[in-house]
Every structure is written in structure tokens, then in C-alpha cells.
Chain A
Amino acid sequence: GEDVEQSLFLSVREGDSSVINCTYTDSSSTYLYWYKQEPGAGLQLLTYIFSNMDMKQDQRLTVLLNKKDKHLSLRIADTQTGDSAIYFCAPANQAGTALIFGKGTTLSVSS
């Protein structure tokens, strides 16, 4: 089945850029998603990229996709303390029936 790997922790200073990386095994995903989970809150969609795109920019967020290497990254520009959360990479499974989540990267932003 689909396997999704992410680094577990990232610590940055306020104002710096954050880059969260993800590798996955199944290349058939049409869309690849990034979700955010804040303490005590549900998962929320952050952004997504279509599989035939290399890059997508959405305000402070930039998603890069290297489909050949099955590598997805999320860059957050001018990181704020409010960005502290767990970020999940979530490509679709091979059947296209569900999203498969990695373990998540905990982003800690210090002021």
C-alpha cells in the first residue's frame, strides 16, 4: 500500500521560512494534499497540488512536486507563531478512494 514519510520535527524562528518535506511511494495520485492540525482542533486542508504541476503558490505557501522522485514539499514564507501545528502530507491511495496520511511534521515557531 501507499507509504508516506515525513520528518517528525521542525523548529524555526519567527520570520524565517519553513520547509516541510514528504516522500511517498504511490505515483498514481491525481492530487496531493497538505493538511494542518492545531492542538485541540480538527484537521484542516491547507493546500493541494495537481499531479501534473511542479509548483503551486498560495499566498505564503509554496508547494513543490517532484513526481519522478515522489517528493513533495511545503514552504511557508515568513513563518509566524500561529503556524505552529502538525502538518500532514496526504496523497491519495492507489485506488483513488482515500487519502493516506504520513505521521506528520510538528512545526515549532519561536519568537
Chain B
Amino acid sequence: GAGVSQTPSNKVTEKGKYVELRCDPISGHTALYWYRQSLGQGPEFLIYFQGTGAADDSGLPNDRFFAVRPEGSVSTLKIQRTERGDSAVYLCASSLTTDSPGELFFGEGSRLTVL
């Protein structure tokens, strides 16, 4: 597609529920990133995929967070047993380069609110 697409744009859930957030990167971009941005903060790195594999998942805050990219294109960020502190905008970005972050193209984000 023309840009990075993220769905849903808004998600409201209750504490303890399971949530999936989807990212459709720019066609041909092999690198895909998940970040989250809390109010008044900069984007915080979560995980980086190169193709199908997670090349760096050091930013995932705990084992409730998991992400997949089974065919090297679309990625899903999965959050189990959501907590109020998980409320944030989850940003996905993709990049054409393979050996360094390069220029990241960001989607508009999925705003998650945990009640």
C-alpha cells in the first residue's frame, strides 16, 4: 500500500482482556518495528522484525506482550491480560534497509485504552 496501515485506530478494552493490533507495512519493506507512545513521551521501542523473525525483542516490557510476522509482511502485536498501564498509542513502522534502522515510515497508530 501507499503507507503503513494500522488497525484498529482505536481500541477500548477492559482490564484482563486479550488484544490484537495489526500492522500492514509498506510493500517491499523487510524491516518492521513496533513502538508505543504514552502521553507526553517519545515512542518507546518494543520489537524489530527483519523478515519473519524477531531480530530484537528487547523492548517488550514483559511476557504478556508478543508479536508475530509469519509471512514477512503483516504483523500482529498481541497483549494478554491487559492492564491499565498498557494504555498508549501503539505505533508500527517499516523500513526498506536491512542493515540499520534507516528511515522509518510510521503508521498513524492504534490507540489502546484499558479501562
Contacts and interface: CB of A to CB of B under 8 A. Distances in A.
Given A31-B100, A42-B108, A100 B40 contact: no
A37 B54 CA distance: 27
Chain B interface main SS type: loop
Contacts of B108: 41-42
Given A103-B41, A103-B42, A42 B91 contact: yes
Interface of B: 4, 33, 35, 40-45, 48, 55-56, 59, 91, 93, 99-109
B105 to A, nearest CB: 8
Nearest to A40: B108
B91 A43 contact: yes
Given A42-B108, A102-B42, A96 B103 contact: no
Chain A interface main SS type: loop
A6 to B, nearest CB: 8
Top 4 nearest A-B pairs (CB, nearest first) are A101-B42, A97-B56, A43-B106, A42-B106
A42 B109 contact: yes
A92 B101 contact: yes
A78 to B, nearest CB: 25
Contacts of B44: 101
Contacts of A102: 42
B33 A98 contact: yes
A56 to B, nearest CB: 14
A64 B33 CA distance: 27
A85 to B, nearest CB: 13
Contacts of A45: 103-105
Given A41-B108, A92-B100, A92-B101, A97 B48 contact: yes
Nearest to B59: A98
A101 B103 contact: no
B45 A93 contact: yes
